Amino acid sequence: MVHSNIRTLAAAGVLVVSVSAIAMGGRPAGDAEAANQRIAPVARVELAAPAAAAGGARSGEQIYKAICGACHDAGVANAPKLGDKAAWGPRIALGLDGLMKSAIAGKNAMPPRGGSDANDTELARTIVYMANKSGASFKEPAAK
């Protein structure tokens, strides 16, 4: 429970960071600085996970738990929940390539790459992990 709260905060951190970056252009620097201080502890939590294992070596499950679960565990902003076959069925029908396209570009409330720094192989692994828990039987991509 504590973990999923942290993940939810982390996702909010991702969104707030980008909003404060935009705000820096138009507002006095003080506002952005104050905002950065307010979100600093949250942003650190979000950044700690991916930095732990750089180089494309992370498993789909690791990335899912560090980043994607913040929305896909509970269905935040209509994200299809992990394991929800009805929600995933029509998406799985797009195939891994189709899902990769929308995950790379971002889709509606989902930021590009789901807000992660995953490379293509890691992102594909993560989608395979999610889809296979939700009714698909995609093959895990080989490491590049």
Which residue lies nearest ligand HEC, judged by its C-beta?
114
* Rounded least distance, CB 116 to ligand HEC, Å: 4
* Rounded least distance, CB 33 to ligand HEC, Å: 25
Is the Cβ of residue 29 or residue 51 nearer to ligand HEC in the bound state?
51
Give me 86's structure tokens: 């009805």
Please give the residue ranges that form the binding site for ligand HEC (CB under 6 A): 11, 63, 67-68, 70-72, 76-80, 91, 94, 99, 102-103, 107-110, 113-116, 118, 123, 126-127
User: CB-based contacts of 113: which residues, under 8 Å, 6+ apart?
Assistant: 103, 104, 106, 123
- Cα separation, 144 vs 134, in Å, equals 25
Give me 74's structure tokens: 């509970």
